[in-house]
Amino acid sequence: QVQVVESGGGLVQAGGSLRLSCAASGRTVSYYRMGWFRQAPGKEREFLAAVGWSGATTDYADSVKGRFTISRDNAKNTVYLQMNSLRPEDTAVYYCAINKGSGSYFYPSDYDYWGQGTQVTVSS
């Protein structure tokens, strides 16, 4: 069984930065795509970014492209999300997930393992 734990959330002012970490344990996840999602109150879980197994391929939602950067360190079984130029509308619970498949990776149903989430609050 794989466990996924996010960390690094917190309160930040608009325009600031945060770096989220996602540590996987239980088995190596080096061969799997990993992604970040977020969910604000009353809204559906939203895809933000994904990174392929080697770290060479990445994909972003338009809402975060140019502001957020996803990366991974397979030696540490860890994925990161660097978030810059944060806005109040970025406030949400942020989730890390593991995608074992080879097809779509834009929807929550495409992912097999999830963390519990970390709260990010951006004040204006």
pLDDT in tens, 82-121: 999 999 999 999 999 999 988 899 999 999 999 999 999 9
What pLDDT sits at residue 29?
81
- 32/20 Cα distance (integer angstroms): 19
Per-residue pLDDT of 15-66, as tens digits, reads 999 999 999 988 778 889 999 999 999 999 999 999 999 989 999 999 999 9
Per-residue pLDDT of 20-29, as tens digits, reads 999 998 877 8
Q: What is the DSSP letter of 62?
A: T
Closest by Cα among 43, 49, 75, 77 to 63: 49
Distance of CA 101 to the CA centre of its chain: 17
Supply the DSSP string of 1-35, one letter for each residue.
Answer: --EEEEE--EEEETT--EEEEEEEESS--TTSEEE
pLDDT band at 1, cuts 50/70/90? confident
* Count of other CB atoms within 10 angstroms of residue 34: 26
- 24/33 Cα distance (integer angstroms): 12
**Backbone angles phi and psi of 108, in degrees to 5:** -55, -35
- Average confidence score pLDDT of the chain: 95
Closest by Cα among 6, 31, 30 to 20: 6
